[in-house]
Chain A
Amino acid sequence: ETGVTQTPRHLVMGMTNKKSLKCEQHLGHNAMYWYKQSAKKPLELMFVYSLEERVENNSVPSRFSPECPNSSHLFLHLHTLQPEDSALYLCASSQETGLYEQYFGPGTRLTVT
Chain B
Amino acid sequence: GQQLNQSPQSMFIQEGEDVSMNCTSSSIFNTWLWYKQDPGEGPVLLIALYKAGELTSNGRLTAQFGITRKDSFLNISASIPSDVGIYFCGTSGTYKYIFGTGTRLKVLA
Show the binding face of A for B, using Cβ within 8 Å.
4, 6, 33, 40-43, 45, 48, 55-56, 90, 92, 97-107, 109
Shortest A71–chain B CB gap in Å is 17
Task: Point out which of B33, B88, B95, B101 has the most chain A C-beta atoms below 10 A from its C-beta.
Answer: B95
Interface size class of B (residues with CB under 8 A): 20 to 34
A43-B99, A56-B95 known; A99-B31 Cβ under 8 A: yes
B45 near A103 with CB under 8 A, answer yes
Assuming the contacts A33-B97, A42-B4, A42-B100, asked whether A99 and B50 have C-beta atoms less than 8 A apart, the reply is yes
B95: min CB distance to chain A, Å: 4
On whether A107 and B33 interact (CB within 8 A), knowing A41-B101, A42-B98, A48-B95, the answer reads no
Complex interface: chain A residues within 8 A of B50 (CB)? 99
Our pick among A4, A55, A90, A100 for the contact of B92 (Cβ within 8 Å) is A100
Q: How far is the CA of A51 from the CA of B102 in the complex (A)?
A: 30
Selected from A45, A48, A99, A106, the residue in CB contact (under 8 A) with B42 is A106
B88's nearest neighbour on chain A, judged by CB, is: A43
Interface residue from A98, A101, A104 paired with B48 (Cβ < 8 Å): A101
Tell me if B59 counts as interface (CB < 8 A to partner A): no
- Select from chain B the residue with minimum beta-carbon distance to A58: B95
Assess whether A40 is in contact with B43, with CB atoms less than 8 Å apart. Answer: no
